[in-house]
Structure 1
């Protein structure tokens, strides 16, 4: 009798457990629809760490501080920019890489004929880099309840658990290294965790995708040493902005996976060397690297790029005719009005197309977000206008069949994997 009742109780418990498991499975596998996708996307944006490879807040703050007619930018409150604390919290952004952006105008004058750095007033790149790093440190010091510097994935995770926005830093342009290899370690010690080898002009390290001049046809001899030193020190090599030949030189030399912190796919914008073509993306995948998709409309959409060039052409002509510059307050109203009347915006769907394209080439392990917020000006697509709108992109990916694990990889796991592997390689080399 006892065995019968015992068996009955076990059977009942098993059925109850199975029913509970089935219910849980049904809830987690709820079909994503147009009706529930926004709620689901917002939940994932808050559940997962979101890493963005490139946000230009520091230089935006620097410019604002130098222009007396504009108010000081306070990132702890809502601003008119693409990134601030309020927008980041709303959109689930947890680890925006602060771009320590060094315009080519600050790098040492370059002797194209002999490939030497020339001393002069323009050789201020290191000074500017230091000032921007100090500015980012100042944000975390002034608002410790909102922001914290991060130099590793582990620190990002710790800050996330506390509800803080982590501020890792990447240096956009290797010009501040100068001709002294010791500066690689210097900037590592200052918190830099990736270096974009150049920006818009050739420098002492390599050629630029934006520059018609090809001094090195890839990496310079010193540039090869810089890549090796970055591997040794533990700084990620960023292949955004560099020329195609430089990219292939980097791939031959690096012992660690690399990132493209804010690049998109050339497939959709033919001839735009600043983006990566299919062969490069495949090599990046073989390297174990990650391409972080730039959201700018002119990066993701050929039609937007053509329209934007038309608009810029008209504005240049109008400014010349009226003897004005883009900086003149007298021109601002006209520029703003004309751009509103002649929009060149793409859409969040097009950004998702770029993610789809990378996944079709090399899989979901090699793509992430690299918005270029505060860096691409008024060219951001509809649905991705600022840091509050990451859930819109996540929703689009859900509707396209991406799983929660896929989205976690795109949001942060892929970049964390590269970052940790760069740390591992550094330990092996030292």
Structure 2
């Protein structure tokens, strides 16, 4: 997809710089020409020799290198690429960009260019959350600079939170979107994910075992194909994907409101495991356990939650062109899922067996059967990321 595309790769100074080596390899696998620029701080983490060997090109490091300026010059270097990618984009580099500083080769290239720029930020969580960084990010976005990430995760410093640089394949996908687009470019897709938590009282709730991993993988796969993704998620274990619009909810009613607010969309994938029932009148204070035999057990009265999949599937106006549901079953999987598709009115249902022996609920793998108006197609057991990729490609084919 990136054949003959010219990428100027600026490697900043941070422990995440080691990922730039894998990124170079991935970009070149896809046919891109990578010209590397290594900052002085970046050279503390990766060597010019390793960068040059992987890129198959000279590494540029010094603004005042007489030979480099005579042969090419930083102005020409800044404008000879189809895309400039900064990996990692440190707080210092982004501050220089936002302020228009140009005191080294990297910052001078970024100021002198009229080429699109994509940043992959990486820094300590406190640095990312600092008001100065937030101001700089807002300025850069206003200037039309693209960003991928950062995600949440463990830091080299031992802390956890936002600031972890995107993985090389995620950056490659962002590069492809910036330069090529993708089969879902211009399409808006809604994905729901995770469980819902229905409160009993302030400390107890009704839920299920959904981790949100499959919904997250689907959102990532759709974004990788160029779609604009709205990701509505309950309190899931899996971190939300990067570079998508995230709407966090707790209950089924909140999820319905978020889904309706996200419409219209071209397609909707309802991967969330929404609780069928909620407590009709949740207590505002903790329900106390009564001692002795006379205390008895609390009696909970349930109410039915809104059927989000059915509501969207059966819309008279503004219905998405493609509505996809999931059916998590333990018995008669195909028959039950087929009946569910007809009852709900959706276009496709992905059915899977979530009985305890399969290990699918909360696991890393899935085995689904796609059911549409023409019948059922069973897919082999694969990782949830592979299921997501296959589904996203089929969605792209269907939406044309």
TM-score, with length taken from structure 1: 0.29
Higher helix share: 1
Higher relative contact order (CA 8 A, sep 6+): 1
User: Rg bigger for which structure?
Assistant: 2
Higher strand share: 2
